[in-house]
Structure 1
Amino acid sequence: MDDLARAVEAALFAAEEPMTAEALAGFLGDAAVGDVRQALRSVAQDYEPRGIHLVERSKRWHFETAPDLAHLLRREQEQIRRLSRAATEVLAIIAYHEPVSRAEIESIRGVQTSGGTLDVLMEAGWIRIAGRREVPGRPTIYATTPEFLEHFGLSSRRDLPGIAELRATGLLDPVDDAYDELMGEATGEDGADDTERSDDPEES
């Protein structure tokens, strides 16, 4: 390992939070960003067979436990918290369309979105307030966080699965009921369920 790679390794080991290649270059003084990126790739390759890995999440680099060894470090019982259907829909809309306002989320979903649903996602650390839309009323807009990418094992939003991948994994099934309801409304048939879905935050 050359001197720059060793310096990059030491800086990331001592860092309190993940760092970008640009931040590392500035921290190390006269290092070029391109050289730092090459050093990062070199260090990441060196750590591939080890118990910890150097990974990039949302253009920021940090060390983490090798995925196949994570079970050895768990000493507490995990509590599974399932998101409500509303929260799952909102998270997906933000991930694929960010930055989006609450009104835009509601337009895509077709129902109102409660503030509690957004609060749950922010408390989980998966979305954040990304500013305000420069339109009348200046509504708040939301975007995903690096923690969202890390939790779902994504390097960037470009790694989000497409429709074909979601269908192949069965995540879009079953859709028959929703399709039949939609077609029934389109043809004017009776029996469509007009009950509005609930966004009660207590569902989460």
Structure 2
Amino acid sequence: MGRRARAKEELDTELADLPPELRWRQWMGRVEAVIFAAHEPVPRDVLARVVGRDCNLDRLIDDIRDELRGRPYELVSVAGGWQHRTRTGFADAIRAATGLGAAVTKPLSQTEALILMCIAYFQPITRGELGRVFGKEISRDVIGHLRALGFIAAGPRSPTPGAPYTNVTTKAFLSHFGFESLRDLPDIELLEDAGLLSKDKLLADSFPDGFGATAAGVDGDDEDIERDEPLAG
């Protein structure tokens, strides 16, 4: 029997010998400890391993959040799990004390942001399909940069000639932009009604130099890109 299996058997998740209030507090402590120790958002099925079968995880998380009110960090629901994050109001203090975050990541260009938005809403989508949306061939360099940032990955192959890989968003995309799942993306029709998204603007021939590929190519060349945690929906 492996060490992990033995540890799982030895952990008393039900805590039946404790009165209800102390049992709940112990479950809260376990859940918060697991989330605190993790480097990525912790999904529900992982947290369920340290609490009783009848524990209401949503209510437990709410109680932890209530206790964190006024603290410099909070518990957020993101990328299909829960994660501790420092509140934005303390960013300057952290930079002043440790230098962490001093090197601000270069923001996405207008072109990159539009392409990423298009992938998020219409995934899985090939580079060729993106080119038809924008009316220009999309540079492999742009797609490569979004992949390098971890925001997109290679999805399933398209059932079109050459069977090119499609592009899909990743858990890193959800985490970076604070979405729990793709269902949290703003409704595309509401964005159009509010004037924040326009198909005419997407199709307009007004992108900066370098938007198109410097050399013509076919989508089939994209299949050698390394895959990384795709989210197809």
- Please report the TM-score for the alignment, with normalisation by the length of structure 2: 0.64
Partner of 2:36: 13
Distance 2:46 2:157 in 1: 27
Residues 34/147 of structure 1: CA separation in 2 closer, same or farther (3 Å cut)? farther
Amino acid at match of 2:44: A
Per the TM alignment, residue 22 of structure 1 is displaced from its structure 2 partner at its CA by: 0.9
Is structure 2 residue 100 aligned with structure 1 residue 68? no
CA–CA separation in structure 2 for the residues paired with 1:20 and 1:196: 40
Opposite residue 6 of structure 1, the aligned amino acid is: G
In the TM superposition, residue 111 of structure 1 has moved relative to its aligned partner by 1.3
Whether the aligned pair in 2 keeps the contact of 1:166 and 1:172 (CA below 8 Å) is yes
**Residue number among 54, 73, 76 corresponding to 1:55 in the alignment:** 76
Give the equivalent residue in structure 2 for 1:148: 173
Residue 112 of structure 2 corresponds to residue 87 of structure 1: yes
Q: Does the 8 Å CA contact 2:81/2:180 hold for their aligned counterparts? A: no
User: Cα distance, 1:53 vs. partner?
Assistant: 0.5
Alignment-mate amino acid for residue 18 of structure 1 = P
How many residues matched? 185
Change (3 A) 1:33 1:167: farther
Shift of 1:39: 1.8
Which ranges of structure 2 fall in alignment gaps of 5 or more residues? 1-23, 215-233
> For residue 109 of structure 2, what is the amino acid of its counterpart?
S
Q: CA RMSD in A?
A: 3.5
Read off the aligned partner of 1:198 and give its amino acid letter: G
State the secondary structure of the residue aligned to 2:85. strand
70-79 or 94-103: which moved more? 70-79
Q: Which residue matches 2:230?
A: none
Contact 1:87 1:121 in 2 (8 A): yes
Counterpart residue identity of residue 37, structure 1: D
Identity %: 28
**Which consecutive unaligned segments of at least 5 residues does structure 1 have?**
183-192
Q: Name whichever of 148-157 and 66-75 sits farther off.
A: 148-157
Amino acid at match of 1:45: D
2: CA distance, partners of 1:71 / 1:194: 37
1:198 equivalenced with 2:210 (yes/no): yes
Alpha-carbon distance in structure 1 between the residues aligned to 2:38 and 2:108: 32
Determine helix, strand or coil for the equivalent of 1:2.
helix
Matched to 1:89, the amino acid is L
Query: Which piece of structure 1 moves more, 144-153 or 2-11?
Result: 144-153
CA contact (8 A) 2:41 2:80 kept: no
- Partners of 1:51 and 1:69 within 8 A in 2: yes
For residue 73 of structure 1, report the CA deviation from its aligned partner. 0.9
